[in-house]
Amino acid sequence: MIKLIKPYITFHEVEEDFKRIFESGTFTKGEYVNKFLQEIKTYLGVDHAFLTTSATTALTMCLKSLGIGLGDEVIVSDFSFPATVNVVEDIGAMPIFADVDQDTFNMKSEELEKKITKKTKAVIFVDAFGNPSGISKIKGICEKHQIPLIEDAACAIGSSENGVKVGKIADLTCFSFHPRKLLTTGEGGVITTNKKEIAEIMSVKLNHGAIVRDGMADFINYGYNYRLSELQAAMGIKQLNKLESIVKSRNSIADEYKKRLHLLGFKRQNSLDNVIHNIQSLVFMVPEGMNRDHLITYLTENGIESTIGTYCLSNTTYYKNKYNSVQPIAKYLEKNTVTLPCYDNVDHKYISNIIEKYVRTLVED
């Protein structure tokens, strides 16, 4: 079976670091966590970074730090994994679904403009599959209306727009280190911001609500433990150091797929000219009239793991029943996108040949 993704980390790379951590007996809040945080800030060019247990807890922390709660509205990109909207629902705010662009799969600026009200307290822009196309335009709209912009950059480590890395564009940015991501620590995430006042709130909330005075903890608020361990940080450091080459390699593989599959009527997710897309997931729209689910089954039968693009949040059973606000383009993309394997040494020629064979069977039928 050709797997959908493989991690860019091996045990051999971290073995010595793991031994050092075990010998030290320090498994949290140690030198590796501090080093990982510093290297993230340097790589992204940001002032503040906070490690978390996942991008989901990172998003929750952002909403809580902004004081968002019951009765508030948060506008959310509608084509994403449900975690993006679940965090809004969980704190008692109301998610407002914004439809996406059919080429980039990202929030449409005109949709955002239409859905801003006096109750809008934040916007969550999703870098679909790591593609930040349009984030700067969305930021401009948010600044005009004085609304905080949270970037769900779960997939977007290593991407940029207008020469500015994702992590430095929005008011708050959340990354994921899940096993399917280019940089994985097993589970985990990080929040980045250049907003000093928000960073001060987070430093307390992410330390159980404590500050240190005269060497003693003073719990001035309530807070959380969303920490990453030393072992996870050691994994993250190794991958961060080679991230640029990973992004370059994945773009090269994606271009090879595109040469073959565009001739068959498949359309790859588009990135704007001023964007570097890390190709976190390589996603194509299938040709008009093709049954995407049948294609996925056919690929599985031929030893190739694939999956859907992602979800139309407003069309999931819970949110459809509660809000009845299904967005048409996101719904179309959910049914007509496929994610293909994309990593070093993947046999993309074989995969393209199998897809071509499938297309021929449709024509013959």
For 72-117, the pLDDT digits (tens) are 999 999 999 999 999 999 999 999 999 999 999 999 999 999 999 9
Q: Which residue in 220, 230, 229, 154 sits closest to 192, CA to CA? A: 154
Instruction: Note the pLDDT tens digit of each residue in 178-235.
Output: 999 999 999 999 999 999 999 999 999 999 999 988 889 999 999 999 999 999 999 9
Tokens of 186: 């097993």
Q: pTM for this structure? A: 0.96
Helix and strand totals (H; E) in the chain: 13, 18
pLDDT tens-place string over residues 8-31: 999 999 999 999 999 999 999 999
Secondary structure class of 290 (helix, strand, coil) = coil
- Can you say whether the dihedral through the CA atoms of 329, 335, 336, 338 is positive or negative? positive
Q: Which two tokens stand for residue 179?
A: 């096993």
Q: Which domains does the chain have, with CATH numbers?
A: 11-97+105-240 (3.40.640.10), 244-364 (3.90.1150.10)
Query: Residue 252, Cβ neighbours under 10 Å: how many?
Result: 12
Least-confidence region, from 203-217, 278-292, 309-323? 203-217
E runs forming strands in 229-285: 267-268, 275-276, 282-285
Chain segment 81-93, per-residue pLDDT in tens: 999 999 999 999 9
Q: Rounding to the nearest 10 degrees, give the CA dihedral for residues 172, 183, 276, 164.
A: 40
